Homo-oligomer: A and B are copies of this chain.
């Protein structure tokens, strides 16, 4: 009896330490989430950027509280700018061959991957449970990457997305359907974003700049040099950065999974078949055909994917509704069926030889 009990304890314990990840894909998400994850390390770092000194600018008198005496603000000094922020969770025994890098879209941060606005666990945890080391990052000028004084360092001013823009541009509701009062907002029929949590989602938003692409790409390229070989999952504005990161380091980037990329390199960039060994997957949700905005954005990645294939590479194109998966908005990692989409992506990675 005691020996049997010991054996069971040993088996359960070993499973907890070594075998957990193996269970993640076969078991239902609910049951998987109740099981502990064997984590080797959590931590973060900043990468990229440059030192900048401001000199000779006039000091200004600034009144910080109405009625109080002005305080001199001196904008001069030495700073670090254009770095990016990266946070990682490393597993004790990853089943994936390479770490998974999750890159967010415009006006957002790595929070995109960490949580869903209705409180469900994000894709970060999904892919950890599926056996990947996961790196979640904030690109230059947002979130924990920080931002620089403008117009002295960043040459333009920040842009703040409105709720109306997010509601309509992200294909949650049709153009003109946004209202301040949540009860009056009319969503697209069949859409799967958790609209009851739309204002909560909006708290994840951060200002963005229109003039920082070069700095953002430079930091991403440095990240790739630091932590790859890797697989990159990238969303929206990030699509272009992910495609370019692979073009810059085709030896380090083992796959690119672009979720609704808002742009892509010119097809000529694929010339010479240098990305032949780097499978690409492009994923699109629902209601794209009805959206003038997205009809403008889709062709770039379409032409780029075609060029990758013409050069002998793999560039899979998923139009989810055509695959029987309806209702996805632009924020498909937060939609009510988002774990189903994650599972499809996980399966693709397995088929592409990216799991051990």
Contacts and interface: CB of A to CB of B under 8 A. Distances in A.
Interface residues of A, number: 76
Interface in A189-229: 199-200, 202-207, 210-211
A37 B42 CA distance: 10
Interface string A1-29: 00000100110011011000000000000
Interface in A72-104: 73, 75-80, 83, 85, 87, 89, 92
A203 B83 contact: yes
Given A13-B17, A80-B202, A149-B160, A44 B6 contact: no
Contacts of A114: 42-44, 87
Interface of A: 6, 9-10, 13-14, 16-17, 33, 36-46, 49, 51, 53, 62, 64-66, 71, 73, 75-80, 83, 85, 87, 89, 92, 109-111, 114-115, 119, 121-122, 124-125, 128, 138, 143-144, 146-147, 149, 155-157, 159-160, 162-165, 180, 199-200, 202-207, 210-211
B41 A78 contact: no
Question: How many protomers of this protein does the assembly include?
Answer: 2
B73 A159 contact: yes
A78 B203 contact: no
A83 B109 CA distance: 15
Given A13-B14, A41-B121, A138-B144, 4 more contacts: A44-B111, A44-B114, A49-B203, A62-B157
Contacts of A17: 13, 16-17, 36
A65 to B, nearest CB: 6
22 contacts: A10-B13, A17-B17, A37-B40, A42-B42, A42-B124, A42-B125, A43-B124, A46-B203, A51-B180, A51-B199, A73-B157, A73-B159, A79-B163, A79-B202, A80-B163, A83-B203, A109-B144, A110-B144, A111-B144, A144-B204, A147-B206, A147-B207
A149 B160 CA distance: 8
A203 to B, nearest CB: 4
